[in-house]
Amino acid sequence: MKKPALSDEILLKIEKPARYIGNEINIVRKDPAQAAIRFAMCFPDVYEIGMSHLGMKILYEMFNRREDVYCERVFSPWIDLHKIMKEKNIPLFALESQEPIIQFDFLGITLQYEMCYTNILQILDLAQIPFMAADRTDDMPIVIGGGPCAYNPEPIADFFDLFYIGEGEVSYDALFDSYKQAKADGKSRREFLLEASKIPGIYVPCLYEVKYNPDGTIFSMEPIAPQAPKKVKKQIVMDLSGAVYPKKPVIPYIKITQDRLVLEIMRGCIRGCRFCQAGQIYRPTREKELSVLKRYADEMIKSSGYDEISLTSLSSSDYSKLEELIRYLIDQYKDKGVNISLPSLRVDAFSLDVMSKVQDIRKSSLTFAPEAGSQRMRDIINKGLTQEDILHGAGLAFEGGWQKVKLYFMLGLPFETEEDMRAIAELANQIAARYYEIPKELRNGKCQITISTSFFVPKPFTPFQWAQMHDKDEYLRRAKIVNDSVKEQLNKKSLKYNWHEADVTVLEGIFARGDRRLSKAIQYAYEDGALFDSWSEFYDDERWQQAFLKAGIDVCFYTTRKRAEDEVFPWDFIDDGVSKQYLLAEWMRAKEGRTTKNCRMQCSGCGARQFGGGVCFENQD
């Protein structure tokens, strides 16, 4: 075992030292000196969250299958260790080799959530890599970002050498081969970046120039090098069954957020909810073959020792072979102490029958995500769920023995009225009333319904990318309306209401649709102490307001401002396969309260047919 980069004295002073020592079960061990390319795979959050991320596990497996690449992991040090590393000038290190990140060829940072942006600067700072890509020398790692937030990389573009747009299984081999060739030819960092820009899905920010209109909106964004494409096209895996998958995942020594095996059954979603970015950028929907999933489940359970396996996708109920898969897993493992976790299921008779076999009904709760309280709002967001569907599903659940229900809604959606807000509490009350229709002797105790509202954030590549946000006070005003309405309901003793932090929502919205001018504010906030902003105990809104003021940023420009239908967005240079014309048409349909059928029922002409596959092609000429 490699000697830890941290001394015993330091490890004894910090919380959960197992976050930093590596050497977990199933880690990949290679001789760093024999690797042509060393890649540090980074999740810019604490170890327990990063180790729960499936995408990172897939790329770790894929990269290490190459004999010439050694991929290692690195996460954000927690606050206690961060302070010690700064005081003692200890460089950030990778878990596998315990060697400094600055010695690597690549630092790859996964971008899952906008509120981790200051953690990106923490990683660079502790690794002793300059914040600005323009300040890095030829001997420093190439910093590359990927993941959902890379679909608008502009607020953090100045910090990255490259971005990978799309699913990582496609173009990384070409990138590595190009890097090896550039090293062999003695090319400079700049020369490699020029070559990399020719690879599909690779975006090199320094090769593009942004020009602005007098009102601050974008006039144009054009490549300044002939190698760089005008449009960067997302990369997507069409054959999921043949794609790389981690069948021997790394097993942590401490409990992580998702402490179970994860079996990905499909990518994409047929539903077309207008607020959902994932439902658009992962189009078309692609399924894994049933035989492959059965084999993977068997191999993963044998190699890991886990006693729980979770089926993951955006909408698991839409997987065409779901019933066969679940029956197989139950028959194969129920008597062997292996639990089956079933997120993203619609609550219907089949799902409840299955869940009754794999859950302790008295301890567990069911989750519904109506997203909006009124049918009018559910039609506006294209949720595809009626009040009858919700009450029927709740009734089946209650009759099946459940009495705990979690309800998830959004506040601040486009075209929302006070009546729509109050409808959230009214729907929850109706669900509770449905429970009390069951004879008392057949109930499982008191009904417990937890209502949670997050505040709506418009995301790029969705029909709602044109929508206005609200400020903090307006979000809180809407939450108060819901809270007051909950107190007015007949079944109020069975209802509990929680809401998300409004100031965090506003910041997320600024970054979600932001441009390159925001990078200075992010740097100022980090230098003033901003870190782990997604953790409520560390978030300081006043710190961010000061950073925006120092950077000359008008917050309202990115949040409450109206956006013209023909406005050039910071992310318009990316081709995600879904046309802007389609998104605009869906925005218009939302204004009219008109719904759009799901992809299995009817093609909506979004543009994803160009990829040549997926369930959107079923039953079509």
Residue range 300-313, pLDDT digits in tens: 999 998 999 999 99
Q: How would you class 321 by CB atoms within 10 Å of its CB: exposed for 0-12, middle for 13-18, buried for 19 or more?
A: middle
- Alpha-carbon dihedral sign for residues 438, 440, 445, 446: positive
Residue 358 has pLDDT above 80, yes or no: no
Claim: this prediction has a pTM higher than 0.85: yes
pLDDT at residue 619, as a whole number? 47
Helices (H), 552-603: 555-558, 580-592
Average the pLDDT over 285-290 and give the result.
96
CB of 396 within 8 A of CB of 347?
yes
Average the pLDDT over 315-341 and give the result.
90
Dihedral class, residue 132 (left if φ above 0, else alpha if ψ from -120 to 50, else beta): beta
Please tell me which residue, 295 or 347, carries the higher pLDDT value.
295
Please tell me which residue, 362 or 566, carries the higher pLDDT value.
566
- Tell which residue, 44, 42, 82, has the closest CA to residue 533: 44
Q: How many CB atoms lie within 10 A of CB 295?
A: 12
CB of 405 within 8 A of CB of 450?
yes
Q: Which two tokens stand for residue 522?
A: 């992010």
Residue 360 has pLDDT above 80, yes or no: no
Average the pLDDT over 27-44 and give the result.
97
Tell me how far the alpha carbon of residue 421 is from its chain's centroid. 27
pLDDT at residue 363, as a whole number? 67
Average the pLDDT over 119-129 and give the result.
98
d(CA 420, CA 44): 37
Identify the DSSP state of 567.
P
pLDDT digits (tens, 9 = 90+) for 47-88: 999 999 999 999 999 999 999 999 999 999 999 999 999 999
Pairing of strands 142-146, 202-203: unpaired
d(CA 410, CA 238): 32
Compute the CA torsion angle 556, 562, 565, 570 (nearest 10 deg): 0
E runs forming strands in 86-169 = 106-110, 142-146, 162-164
Average the pLDDT over 227-250 and give the result.
96
d(CA 33, CA 36): 8
CB of 58 within 8 A of CB of 52?
no
Average the pLDDT over 331-345 and give the result.
84
d(CA 579, CA 408): 29
d(CA 417, CA 377): 9
Q: In this structure, which amino acid lies at residue 339?
A: N
d(CA 241, CA 621): 25
Q: Which two tokens stand for residue 40?
A: 């540090």
Average the pLDDT over 93-114 and give the result.
98
Task: Please provide the average confidence, as pLDDT, over all residues in the chain.
Answer: 95
Exposure b/e, 225-240, CB count within 10 A at least 16 = b: eeebbeebebbbbeeb
Q: In this structure, which amino acid lies at residue 208?
A: Y
pLDDT digits (tens, 9 = 90+) for 186-222: 999 999 999 999 999 999 999 999 999 999 999 999 9
Q: How many CB atoms lie within 10 A of CB 251?
A: 17
Average the pLDDT over 242-257 and give the result.
96
Banded model confidence at residue 337, pLDDT cuts 50, 70, 90: confident
pLDDT at residue 620, as a whole number? 53
Identify the DSSP state of 477.
H
Residue 586 has pLDDT above 90, yes or no: yes
Percentage of residues of the chain with pLDDT beyond 70: 98
pLDDT at residue 400, as a whole number? 87
Average the pLDDT over 454-479 and give the result.
98
pLDDT digits (tens, 9 = 90+) for 404-462: 999 999 999 999 999 999 999 999 999 999 999 999 888 888 999 999 999 999 999 99
Banded model confidence at residue 617, pLDDT cuts 50, 70, 90: low
pLDDT at residue 618, as a whole number? 56
